[in-house]
Structure 1
Amino acid sequence: MQKTAIVTGASRGIGAATALHLSRNGYRVVINYLKSADRAKALLAQIKGEGNEASIFKADVSKSDEANALVNFAIDYYGALDLVVNNAGVSLFSLVTETDDEQYEKVFGVNTKGVFNMCRSSVSFMINRKRGAIINIGSMWGRVGASCEAVYSASKAAVEGFTKALAKEISPSGITVNCIAPGLIDTEMNSNLTKEDIEAIVEVTPAGKMGTPEDIARLVLFLAREDYITGQIISCDGGLTI
């Protein structure tokens, strides 16, 4: 039976790669976006062009009513919801002393509250069906912290704690909840890094290279299929945080 997945922030980067990979492996995918409508439509066309099912839905997951509308759309349109991938996120490179309230609230609003909103909106349906999977996309900086990214690091660390607690709460109902902590991934989110910055990070990465969005997408699919892995924070960083 074909399954249904929502991928938030799916118009580019890790989200787009995940949506595409899931569509190629038996999932009907709801592509969530906020600003990049053209990219979302292009991804939708690609998935449908390959003979697979998908749809797009604009929503700001930091707002509870919009997250709820996204979840309800998937359930109403496909009659099911088997997987939620909470990928939507924003970064912030700033000293703590130079970070204002608005920046702080935006980062936590999307990265942390967005995960909470999506989980709160989707778990009741999954609990009633006694199955489902939630995969949150964190960051290696949520595990070890990053200088000049204290707010971003904290927002992702909060996602890790939330993942573990939610797994204890709902895994008895047959739902897995896990978090992936990517390392340096070749996406636009890291476009602020110079060539020298990237080379310095790669040099201390045991795998000796940057990761790709597809590396994360494959791990998402693996976790979505496993029913005895839950409450875990899984690093996908080439060994950087060993």
Structure 2
Amino acid sequence: MATASVSGSRKNELWRCLGEVNDPELDEPITEMGFVERAEVTSDGSVDIDFRLPTYWCSPNFAFLMLDGVRKALDQLSWSPAYRVKLHDHMFAEEVNRGMEAGKTFGDIFAELAEDQDLGALRETFRMKAFKRRQEAVLRGLRQQGLTDREILEMDLPVYDVAGFEPGEAAKQKPRYRAALLERFPDRRAYDPVFVTWDGERIPPTALTGYLGELRGVRINMEFNGALCRGLKQTRYKELDVVDGEPTLVDFIMDRVPARAAPTA
């Protein structure tokens, strides 16, 4: 019984840690996107993970950022296990898996596969988009509660922390926006305004409507890309996503993707 309890506890911890790793472009957990196909704790305490992206052609940069996130999550596990992460059905899967088996770091493996892009700059771009998407959800939620734009934009962290939402997108994004804010501005003071631009500028109440329009564009782009990624993966592996017996946005999009179109990720 004790052994089973430890195994169950470790498996829960494993999935919880993996659930904190996001697709960098979409700001959605890789577990919810279905990229982690298998994550198991073996009898000796080591960890085996099978990882699969939506298409064979997914950018190696995106693969690197996600696999690096997986590595960091696994390094945080309380029992410090040995682990094996295997990438499947990707154009660089052979190179990645061979490198990992040889004990190379992800940085070494992807040094020649990163398409000569600055991964630090790419990571920063995705952090900015995630910041804006999370912020927009909370701002809209506060407006729906009847707060004035001035009340919202004068909100500091103590007031923000006690604000409540009904279950939904604003409630989901509230702690995530707080985390993004503190990551972006680690030296901010508790009584500084919570809602600022990515560059740290205050938002005048008269400008909030226009600012929300900008954030809405970021969200719609990310939501569409997320739906497309899910659709590509589901179509590729013959999975079906149905909610309450009705076709989802994924089905709608995939019905309109030309059969000969080259998918991108």
Q: TM-score range with shorter-chain normalisation?
A: under 0.3
TM-score normalized by the length of structure 2:
0.25
Larger strand share, 1 or 2: 1
Of structures 1 and 2, the larger Rg is shown by 2
